[in-house]
Amino acid sequence: MADCIFCRIARHEVPSSVVYEDEHVIAFMDIMPAKKGHLLVVPKAHYGALFDVPAPLLAKTAAVLQRCARGVRRGLTAEGLNVLQSNGSAAGQVVDHVHFHIIPRRLGDGLRLDWDHETYAPNEMASFAAKIKEGCEAERSDA
């Protein structure tokens, strides 16, 4: 997509601090980091959401994600890290190009990723599980 910022970064039309790059995937520093060292891992081809990415490309992206997560841990001596990925504006996705955040963490760093927990009524969890299982089975038969 011509005007997508991540596509432009992947084409080197926009300056970025690239940490890793191969034919299919690029990893670069987030310009608005949650914590210093916040990194984005992005397939170079434009796909809007996780659902759209072909499985072989997603596997390549996941391998780079793991490599970069290890690099963040080792290079920054991070005590932990968060890997985040959002799909759709309802989930907080801002750039319409699938991407994964790697955020280095330290105990007591002040970054909050908590949410109010919901509870299930009796038997409600089983109902949700059944619906999700049906969705997964339908996806498998569509493949």
Q: What is the per-residue pLDDT for 61?
A: 98
Q: Which of 38, 97, 99, 101 is catalytic?
A: 99
Full residue range of the structural domain in which residue 76 is found? 5-112
Residue 118 lies in a domain: no
Is 99 tagged catalytic? Answer: yes
Rg (CA), the chain: 17
pLDDT digits (tens, 9 = 90+) for 7-61: 999 999 999 999 999 999 999 999 999 999 999 999 999 999 999 999 999 999 9
Kindly report whether the global pTM for this prediction surpasses the value 0.85: yes
Q: What is the per-residue pLDDT for 143?
A: 59
Binned at pLDDT 50, 70 and 90, residue 1 comes out as: confident
Residue 123 lies in a domain: no
Residue 88 lies in a domain: yes
Q: How far apart, in whole angstroms, are the C-alpha atoms of residue 6 and residue 133?
A: 33
Contact 101, 82 (CB under 8 A): yes
Residue 137 lies in a domain: no
Residue 82 CA, chain-centre distance (Å), reads: 10
Residue 108 lies in a domain: yes
Find the CATH number of the domain harbouring 23: 3.30.428.10
